[in-house]
């Protein structure tokens, strides 16, 4: 028999994971592209037909109305799993293919999940083979979004992910760029149709009933700390006795984090606490509007207290805006570790969507200057030495950042024009000035050399 694990298209994710969107639609994973949601049985005939036409929101399952079991073992999910077993290449998995072929040595999600969990969950694939793609086992990993409730309106965000941005876009409807106008429209349409999953008692009950196989729950926003649905769900898992077998991964902006929430998280087996902090000082206030840097800083020691079994990480999302000033953030991070003795890791990701925020919009000479500053930092920081518990990853990540900044990438003219237009829109709506916060970009914003 063919060892499906070794084929280039096999992926374990559809055997393990369910990914809910705030409106209740279900995706297979966060990487999947051009995928609106799992189509209902009555609208699905074959994967081939599926890949050739677009599905509307109405043709997709929704956790507000359909059970987890109905979706998990739907015709589509069974066909998708069998396609993975049979090494069929799927267009919607192109992000993983791209990472594997031109990703510069970075593992794709497909590869990293397989490497970490492949052997442990082989039985799920064997079970699916015997049942033509169906699984008696329930999802082991939930990638949960329940709503767009958020206390921030970051420049990189979308109204479907931030209630604050939604309010701002509604107030400025007439001034929005076409891109923002489109995002506002689709958010309003789906809100009117489906509402938020956080408000569905039916889903909460179903989730707790189906919790027996859960190993990991990822909490995404909006902002999880202000979404009461998450805390209801976590408390339900503590009461039912499941919590001690479950790891939590939480992505949060930490501004509204409380010590009661830390106590709830500590009832679980452990997990990963990911504080999303993109920059310091004025750059923070600009990018993660309307937060204030002093408030963000004040809350860092709170999550550093999480107990045994927790990995604590600060994650930077690097966009065109702050890609030339990352060294300022890393100097701050070094102080946290060295002076304040906090055990925190650091990671980063580049914004790849929307493309107006991609670092390719920034001229190479500006990025190279930052790469040089970061190289100097690398050569002197104690964070690359063994005394820092996460030094190996830190070295790897920093080197990856330096290499990317030094890479000549073709600028897409439309994305660059959008960068200027979006910056102008936000500056006007918020009475801010990108040029004041990032003076080294004067030549970009004002056309000066």
Taking the C-alpha atoms of residue 199 and residue 229, their distance in angstroms, rounded to an integer, is: 7
Residue (287 or 336) nearer to ligand SF4, CB: 287
- Measured between alpha carbons, how far is residue 108 from residues 5, 87, 104, 317, 333 in Å? 15, 16, 11, 18, 27
Torsion of CA 8, 13, 15, 17, to 10 degrees: -170
The minimum distance between CB 52 and ligand SF4, in angstroms, equals 18
Q: Based on CB atoms, which residue is closest to ligand SF4, 223 or 370?
A: 223
Output 157 or 216, the one with its CB closest to ligand SF4.
157
Structure tokens at 304: 């550093």
DSSP state of 269: S
Nearer of residues 74 and 381 to ligand SF4, judged by Cβ: 74
**Least distance in Å: CB of 34 to ligand SF4?**
11
Phi, psi of 271 (to 5 degrees): 140, -150
Q: How far is CA 336 from CA 126, 301, 344, in A?
A: 47, 9, 8
- Identify which of residues 270 and 281 has a Cβ nearer to ligand SF4 in the complex: 281
Residue 434 near residue 422 (C-beta atoms within 8 A) = no
Instruction: In angstroms, give the least distance from the CB of 110 to ligand SF4.
Output: 4
Minimum distance of ligand SF4 from residue 217's CB (angstroms): 18
Shorter beta-carbon distance to ligand SF4: residue 157 or 234 = 157
- Which residues are at the interface with ligand SF4 (CB under 6 A)? 11, 13-14, 28-29, 31-32, 93, 95-96, 109-110, 150, 152-154, 157, 161-162, 165, 221-223, 253
Closest CB to ligand SF4 among residues 93, 237: 93
What b-and-e string marks burial along 245-267, b requiring 16 or more CB atoms within 10 Å of the CB? ebbbbbbbbbbbbeeebbebbbe
Minimum distance of ligand SF4 from residue 109's CB (angstroms): 4
Least Å from the CB of residue 280 to ligand SF4 = 16
To ligand SF4, the closest distance from the beta carbon of 145 in angstroms equals: 10
What tokens were used for 361? Answer: 């919009």
SS3 content of the chain, % helix, strand, coil (to 5): 55, 10, 35
CB 420 within 8 A of CB 445: yes
DSSP letter at 316 equals E
Helix, strand or coil for residue 317?
Answer: strand
Q: Which CB sits closer to ligand SF4, 48 or 343?
A: 48
> What number of residues does the chain have?
449
Q: Which is nearer to ligand SF4, 153 or 374 (CB)?
A: 153
Please, what is the minimum distance in Å from the beta carbon of residue 150 to ligand SF4? Answer: 3
CA atoms within 13 A on the CB side of 22: 22
Distance CA 183, CA 34 (A): 15
Please provide the DSSP assignment of 275-327 as one string: EE----HHHHHHHTTT--HHHHHHHHHHHHT--TTEEEEEEEEE-TTTTT-HH
Taking alpha carbons only, the member of 328, 375, 374, 322 closest to residue 351 is 322
Q: How far is the CB of 138 from ligand SF4 (least distance, A)?
A: 18
């Amino acid at each position: 028999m063919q060892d499906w694990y070794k084929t280039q298209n096999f992926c374990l994710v559809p055997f393990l994971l369910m990914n809910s969107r705030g409106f209740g639609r279900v995706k297979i994973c966060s990487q999947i592209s051009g995928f609106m949601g799992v189509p209902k049985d009555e609208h699905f005939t074959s994967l081939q037909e599926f890949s050739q036409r677009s599905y509307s929101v109405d043709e997709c399952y929704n956790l507000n109305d359909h059970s987890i079991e109905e979706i998990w073992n739907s015709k589509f999910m069974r066909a998708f799993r069998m396609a993975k077993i049979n090494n069929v290449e799927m267009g919607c998995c192109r992000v993983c293919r791209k990472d594997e072929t031109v990703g510069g040595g970075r593992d794709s999600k497909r590869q990293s999940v397989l490497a970490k969990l492949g052997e442990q969950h082989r039985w799920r694939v064997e079970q699916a083979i015997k049942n033509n793609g169906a699984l008696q086992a329930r999802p082991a990993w939930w990638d949960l979004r329940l709503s767009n409730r958020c206390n921030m309106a970051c420049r990189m965000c979308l109204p479907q992910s931030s209630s604050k941005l939604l309010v701002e876009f509604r107030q400025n409807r007439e001034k929005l760029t076409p891109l923002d106008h489109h995002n506002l429209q689709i958010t309003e349409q789906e809100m009117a149709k489906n509402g938020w999953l956080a408000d569905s008692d039916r889903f909460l009950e179903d989730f707790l009933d189906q919790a027996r196989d859960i190993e990991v729950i990822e909490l995404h926003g909006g902002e999880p700390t202000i979404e009461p649905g998450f805390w209801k769900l976590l408390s339900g898992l503590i009461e039912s006795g499941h919590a001690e077998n479950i790891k939590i991964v939480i992505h949060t902006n930490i501004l509204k984090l409380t010590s009661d929430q830390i106590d709830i998280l500590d009832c679980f087996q452990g997990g990963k606490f990911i504080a999303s902090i993109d920059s310091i000082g004025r750059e923070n206030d600009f990018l993660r509007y309307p937060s204030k840097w002093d408030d963000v800083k004040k809350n860092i020691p709170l999550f550093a207290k999480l107990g045994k079994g927790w990995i604590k990480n600060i994650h930077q999302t690097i966009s065109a805006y702050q890609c030339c000033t990352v060294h300022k953030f890393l100097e701050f991070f070094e102080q946290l570790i060295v002076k304040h003795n906090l055990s925190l890791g650091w990671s980063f990701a580049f914004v790849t969507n929307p493309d107006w925020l991609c670092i390719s919009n920034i001229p190479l000479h500006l990025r190279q200057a930052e790469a040089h500053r970061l190289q100097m930092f690398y050569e002197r920081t104690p964070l690359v030495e063994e005394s820092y518990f996460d030094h190996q990853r830190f070295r790897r990540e920093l080197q990856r950042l330096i290499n990317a900044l030094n890479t000549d990438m073709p600028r897409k003219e439309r994305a660059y024009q959008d960068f200027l237009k979006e910056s102008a829109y936000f500056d006007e709506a918020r009475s801010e000035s990108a040029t004041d916060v990032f003076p080294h970009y004067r030549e970009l914003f004002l056309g000066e050399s």
